[in-house]
A and B are shown apart, each in its own frame.
Chain A
Amino acid sequence: MKGTYLGEFEEIVLLATGILDDDAYGVTIRKEIEKQTRRAVNIGAVHTALHRLEEKGYLKSKFGEATMVRGGKRKRIFTITAFGLKALRKAQELRSNMWSQLSNVIVQKS
């Protein structure tokens, strides 16, 4: 097991999946990330991150409907799990906690 560490990109993918709610699959997630971060993201990187997150138990997936535009191939719809939410919250807490300490220093310096 790779452990439960949440990388930066993984965090973003996880957040994007959460935002998209029940329409989160490869293409939409990539679009969402590009929209939010304004940087180009590779679809392969998104797939990798998605599967790794699923392996860690932060995401679960099921096959969605197939459409013409997809050449008759089904989507894999990802949804965030309770465990995934918890991991996100932890990451946020960590940051805000560290932020609170950082701001003191900065305040004193400025």
Chain B
Amino acid sequence: MRIMKQQPPRLAKNLLRRFCHVSFIEEVEGDLDEQFSENLKEKGLLRARVLYWSDVLHAIASGNRQAKDEPSSQISMTDSFGHFFKIFFRSLRHSQSSAIINTTGLVLSLVSFIAIWLYVSDELSYNEYHPDAGKIYRTSLSFKRYGDGVTEIDARVPGLWIGEVREQRPEIKSSTRFSKFGLPGAVKYEKKELLFEEPNFFWVDTTYTDIFKLEITRGSEPVVVFRDPSKVIITESIAQKYFADEDPIGKEIVYSHGGMDFPFVVASVMKDYPSNVHFHPAFIASNQALNPFWMRNGTDRVNSTGDPFTYSFFKVDNETDVPAILAAMRPIVKKHSNETVEPVFTKLTEIHFTQGMMVELEPAGDKSYIYISASIGILIIVIAAINYMNLATARSVRRAKEVGLRKTLGVKRSSLINQFLGESMMMISISFAIALSLTVVVLPFFNQLTGKSFTYLSLFTGNTLIILVAVIGVLALLSGSYPAFYLSRFKPIDVLKGAVSTSSGGENFRKTLVVFQFTITMALIICAGVIRSQLSLIHEGKLASNTGRVITIRNVAVKNFHESSEFRSLVMKNKNVEEISLSDHLPRRDGFSFITVPLSIRSKGPDEYMWNAVKVDDHFAGMFKLEFLAGRNFSSAIALDTTNVILNESAVRALNMTPEEVLGQEISANKSFMEDNGYGFGKVIGVVKDFPYESVRFQVQPLCLYGYYPAAETINIKLSGIDLQETIASIESVWKKIHPSRPFEYWFMDDEFGKLYKQEIQMAKLSNYFTAFAIVIACLGLFGLATFTAEQKTKEIGIRKVLGASVGQVLLLLTGRFVTLVLIASVVAMPLAFFAMKSWLEGFAYRAQMEWWVFAGAGGVILVLTYLTVGIESIRAAVANPVDSLKHE
């Protein structure tokens, strides 16, 4: 009894146990007890108790303070980390099929995304190769066309203009000019008897490197080379082409143009420009080198005030100075030309997307393709994210028990959320790692598709990696968020009782996501279909139904009727040659020669019409199957036909006459064009139906066919298609015999037309591939979902079958719901795709019809794929023996 009384106060002890931190309780309680018993002996019960109370309170106060930074919380961190991985791998093992579906989908979508990102960022970074590209401008000039007054922009300006502006505006820090012929020149390397047509010979100022980057890999500095007109810089690929393994420095090559030869000594080798630069020199030499050649009418073409022959660039420190420079340029321009001419400045970084300039160095890009690609990339990612969400929520029933149990054991909701978000982060990171390595593997193929030159290093340049990591973060958050917040909300008691088996909310959410996915996929299929039909329109719109078999040879501009007829008769001897004709380069191309000629019709007065002019011979119309609406073809028997012309339908329409009325009209070219270009004075002898001689992006323009064929630029030869190589070789031997000093360079007309649609063709290929990816990813998700549904309904199916349902009925039950979803998706997708494609097609003068069957086909494809993916699982479920599924319990 007395012993009991001598115990420390119980309330104080409980307080201590309640509030003192668990790691200190043993020693503190022991110490206090010992102290108490000592105090009891020395100071009596009352004082001992009071002291005990005070000690307890102090201990609590200090004990709590200690607990804050005590080490055990760190241990629990690493514990929970290990725990996280354990749970993650367990749940992976538990649902292997959905893990595989998820990773495959994610990997595919990430690969697509990375590839598209590379493409888009490459397109958007045009010319950034050159330092300070944002401060470099090109001056061009706009002018009103003769006659019809349409404004056109020539990318070039006369050579002396930039110098005059620079004298007035000190804001221009540096400037440079270069020139380039539209027609390729022939380059000879005699030692190896090599002879090539080289279109990319650049003639530059000594100041070239003030503005543009030029990386010399061997040989002298650029400035040194440019000071000596007998030296040339070549690119690495040219060095390889001509000299292979030999040392290119000091080798002599000969450049011939217009019948004159210019020898050059290779002084240095430069790195090839990357794909995202808007011009690619292969040879660079001083613009003084061709001085004797480009004297025209007593003036130097490069240093002229009236002949737009140079691409002129300048660099400023401050972009705000540009308007002042433009203002200073205007009077200079007016002084040297007429009132309608205006200077136009284009920033170097914007040249790639500036369309519609004449004599542009390389075809401009189309921003709408960038938008299309970027949206495809994002949509594919969204589809994969939806897969993840769907499968995760579908599996939630399985994991609901886990959640319930863990919550019962005291796991907080926040740590459950972390668990699920962490899991999606892990899945996506693993997929990302696989996707990165896969991308490196498929890059060469992608390069072939897009004509770019990406390497694995491209993945690490610029902000590519940062963007990718950001995308992954967003993706993980997006796809992990629903499971995380939805699953963690479960009440443990409901779950453990089995109440949350299929919540209708989750079901509806999944359905919405599936509809969304199908909408995207179907829209992509429709778009791919429309792009395809537009391309086939382009294909049909080619000059001849079989341009693939037409080869074109650069003609020699000799005004010798005899030579060309001799060539013709020799070539025609080959039985595999069907026809041969002369014409100007087709499709009509900037910079190749005069494109448009100012013409006047005598009966219409002095008005001038700016029309396309093409020189052809008498075989041209037959070879390309031109249809005559009136009049006749050229004839070699009629001498006057070399000055007569044939018009196309559009030209006749422009004159407001009927084809019959036009016949016999007298037509003459503006005097400045008459010289010796073959455009003279003649009569209209025929009218042909419009035929495509340019890109179908543009309406067919009025065209004037001239019969002055000896000056035609090219020889077109149609082959039978049998023994192609052999036939071409025999043509080459004939060529060598007649023109021993000229290179035999040929190309397929098909390829030339193809170049006009390079971007469209690329886009079609890309959209085909990525649409296929999207379909695969969406189907994967559907498959996962179907598997899950079948699994969920095992018992239902069993009972239905016991009660007499047939396999067909069960199948209908399982697939029916998905079919409804597809139907809803098509209702949404079709108008979306329709309007998107309508705006794309508006960029073309000739548009493919959006056929109803493209839309129906897309719906059909999705429906069939749905049946296939859902069907496989459903059939398995439907034919299963009900005994197996029912005896489980």
Contacts and interface: CB of A to CB of B under 8 A. Distances in A.
Interface of A: 25-27, 30, 42-45, 47-48, 51, 63, 66-67, 69-71, 73-76
A75 B30 contact: yes
Contact of B59 (A47, A63, A73): A47
B49 to A, nearest CB: 15
A35 B59 CA distance: 21
B38 interface: yes
A63 to B, nearest CB: 8
B590 interface: no
Choose among B27, B32, B62 the residue with the greatest number of A CB atoms under 10 Å from its CB: B27
Interface string B31-68: 11111011000000000000000110111111101100
A74 B30 CA distance: 6
Nearest to B31: A26
B26 interface: yes
Contacts of B61: 44
B28 interface: yes
B30 A43 contact: no
A47 B33 contact: no
B29 interface: yes
Given A44-B57, A73-B33, A76-B26, 10 more contacts: A25-B31, A42-B55, A42-B58, A43-B31, A44-B59, A47-B28, A47-B62, A71-B29, A71-B30, A73-B26
A25 B34 CA distance: 11
A92 B816 CA distance: 89
Contact of A43 (B37, B55, B66): B55
B24 interface: yes
Contact of B63 (A44, A70, A73): A44
12 contacts: A25-B31, A26-B28, A27-B35, A42-B54, A47-B31, A48-B66, A51-B66, A69-B33, A70-B33, A70-B34, A73-B33, A76-B27
Contacts of A47: 24, 27-28, 31, 59, 62-63, 66
A41 to B, nearest CB: 10
Nearest to B28: A47
Contact of B62 (A27, A45, A75): A45
A46 to B, nearest CB: 9
A44 B35 contact: no
B526 to A, nearest CB: 65
B820 to A, nearest CB: 65
A44 B38 CA distance: 17
Contacts of B58: 42-45
Contacts of B28: 26, 47
Q: Pick the 3 closest A-B CB pairs, nearest first.
A: A44-B58, A73-B30, A26-B31
A27 B27 contact: no
B65 A43 contact: no
A48 B652 CA distance: 106
A27 B59 contact: no
A79 B34 CA distance: 20
A36 B744 CA distance: 112
Contacts of A70: 30-31, 33-34
Contacts of B35: 26-27, 30, 43
A104 B63 CA distance: 45
Nearest to A25: B31
Nearest to B65: A48
Contacts of B63: 44, 47
A66 B29 CA distance: 12
A39 to B, nearest CB: 15
Contacts of A75: 27, 30-31
A67 B57 CA distance: 24
Contacts of A43: 31-32, 35, 55, 58-59
A30 B62 CA distance: 16
B808 to A, nearest CB: 75
B54 to A, nearest CB: 7
Choose among A30, A71, A76 the residue with the greatest number of B CB atoms under 10 Å from its CB: A71
A101 to B, nearest CB: 37
B29 A73 contact: yes
Contacts of A42: 54-55, 58
Nearest to B27: A76
A1 to B, nearest CB: 10
A42 B28 CA distance: 12
B257 to A, nearest CB: 79
Given A51-B66, A75-B27, A44 B33 contact: no
Interface string B645-668: 000000000000000000000000
B27 A25 contact: yes
A11 to B, nearest CB: 18
Contacts of A69: 33-34, 37
A99 B862 CA distance: 93
Contacts of B57: 44
Contacts of B31: 25-27, 43, 47, 70, 75
Choose among B26, B34, B37 the residue with the greatest number of A CB atoms under 10 Å from its CB: B34
A25 B26 CA distance: 12
Contacts of A76: 26-27
Interface in B55-102: 55, 57-63, 65-66
A45 B57 CA distance: 11
Interface string B12-33: 0000000000001011111111
A27 B65 contact: no
B6 to A, nearest CB: 11
Nearest to B30: A73
Contacts of A26: 27-28, 30-31, 35
A47 B26 CA distance: 12
Contacts of A73: 26-27, 29-30, 33
Contacts of A25: 27, 31
Choose among A66, A70, A74 the residue with the greatest number of B CB atoms under 10 Å from its CB: A70
Contacts of B62: 44-45, 47-48
Interface in B700-714: none
B520 to A, nearest CB: 55
B50 to A, nearest CB: 13
Contacts of A67: 34
A27 B52 CA distance: 13
B203 to A, nearest CB: 71
A71 B27 CA distance: 11
Contacts of B65: 48
Nearest to A67: B34
Contacts of A30: 35
Choose among A25, A43, A63, A74 the residue with the greatest number of B CB atoms under 10 Å from its CB: A43
B26 A27 contact: no
A31 B488 CA distance: 54
Nearest to A55: B69
Nearest to A51: B66
A76 B26 CA distance: 9
